[in-house]
Amino acid sequence: MANLQFIALKTLWRKECTRFLRIWVQTLVPPAITMSLYFVIFGSLIGSRIGEMGGFSYMEFIVPGLIMMSVITNAYANVSSSFFSAKFQRNVEELLVAPLSNWIIILGFVGGGVARALLVGLIVTLVSLFFVDIQIHHPLMLVTTLVLTSTLFAAAGLVNAVYAKTFDDISVIPTFVLTPLTYLGGVFYSLTLLPEFWQWVSKANPIVYMVNGFRYGFLGVSDVGIGTSIAVLLAFNLALFATAWHLINKGVGIRS
């Protein structure tokens, strides 16, 4: 039985990967172009006037944040669009009647989102090499933060897709929640530049911990505690996976 569940998981994950690779011009190329523009505008043009940030050139400082921003966006978008499409086309019913554990369904969709996020992260990293020399100070922290962030937002995309009733609903969270939180998450600046009150306000933003954990992996500096960053990531992962399992188990937004 366990072997059959593994085969089902592998098949679902392969289907999800094939889905975004088949339309790679829409899923993999745009992030590379967008991040290249960020590197040119914020890194080269504006960064040359800003100078150093946290003891590093401005370009070096923002590279980890830009990579993380692309990872967050693509992990979320891949799962939310894929699962909602399965709902819309009523393909998800085939999964529900199949002898599959709910965890297999969740891990299959989340795995596809993580695969796309990591691939996009790699592409953006390669693009950044044209603008700055990258040095990795703590590889384990870098990989841990990258994987946990990918799984977190892939699971969040699944929760959004479960509740969504129209295609417009899956764009509400990225537009009105993820984008503001990302831009206010320390991607383009250090929290130390803010007044003390706004530093504490910023620490209520979970993306601050993801960006700083990832930046610590690259540069060895962080505005927040590394242990705290990992704890926040683990807590949000646990909460979102539990929520996703509960919603699918109850058939919320899925069963008529």
Q: What is the pLDDT of residue 22?
A: 94
Give the range of the structural domain holding residue 71, as residue numbers without chain letter. Answer: 2-250
The verdict on residue 181 lying in a domain is yes
d(CA 74, CA 8): 24
255 falls within a domain: no
Q: Which of 190, 171, 158 is nearest to 87 (CA)?
A: 158
User: Cα–Cα distance between 162 and 170 in angstroms, integer?
Assistant: 10
pLDDT at 89: 83
| Residue 148 falls inside a structural domain | yes
First to last CA, the chain: 29
Beta-strand (E) ranges in 55-108? Answer: 56-57
Question: Cα separations (Å) of 207 from 91, 153, 185, 229?
Answer: 33, 11, 5, 9
Beta bridge partners of 57: 52
User: Per-residue pLDDT for the chain (256 aa), expressed as one digit of tens each?
Assistant: 678 888 889 999 999 999 999 999 999 999 989 988 888 887 777 777 777 787 888 888 999 999 999 999 999 999 999 999 988 888 877 787 777 888 999 999 999 999 999 999 999 999 998 888 888 899 999 999 999 999 999 999 999 999 988 888 888 888 888 989 998 999 989 998 889 899 999 999 999 999 999 999 999 999 999 999 999 999 999 999 999 999 998 888 776 5
Q: Which 3 state secondary structure label does DSSP give 52? A: strand
SS3 185: coil
Q: Which two tokens stand for residue 151?
A: 């799984």
Q: What CA–CA distance (Å, rounded) separates 58 from 26?
A: 30
Q: How far is the C-alpha of 88 from the C-alpha of 103, rounded, in Å? A: 21
Within its chain, how far is the Cα of 89 from the centroid? 26
At 8 the pLDDT is 86
Count CA atoms within 13 Å of residue 170 on its CB side.
Answer: 24
User: What per-residue confidence (pLDDT) applies to 256?
Assistant: 53
Q: Is residue 218 part of a domain?
A: yes
Q: What is the pLDDT of residue 130?
A: 87
pLDDT reported for residue 255: 63
Token duo for residue 26: 């829409």
Domain count, the chain: 1
Determine contact, residues 169/253, Cβ cutoff 8 Å.
Answer: no
Residue 256 lies inside a defined structural domain of this protein: no
**Helices marked H in 130-205 — which ranges?**
139-163, 169-173, 179-183, 196-202
Neighbours of 166 (CB within 10 A): 10
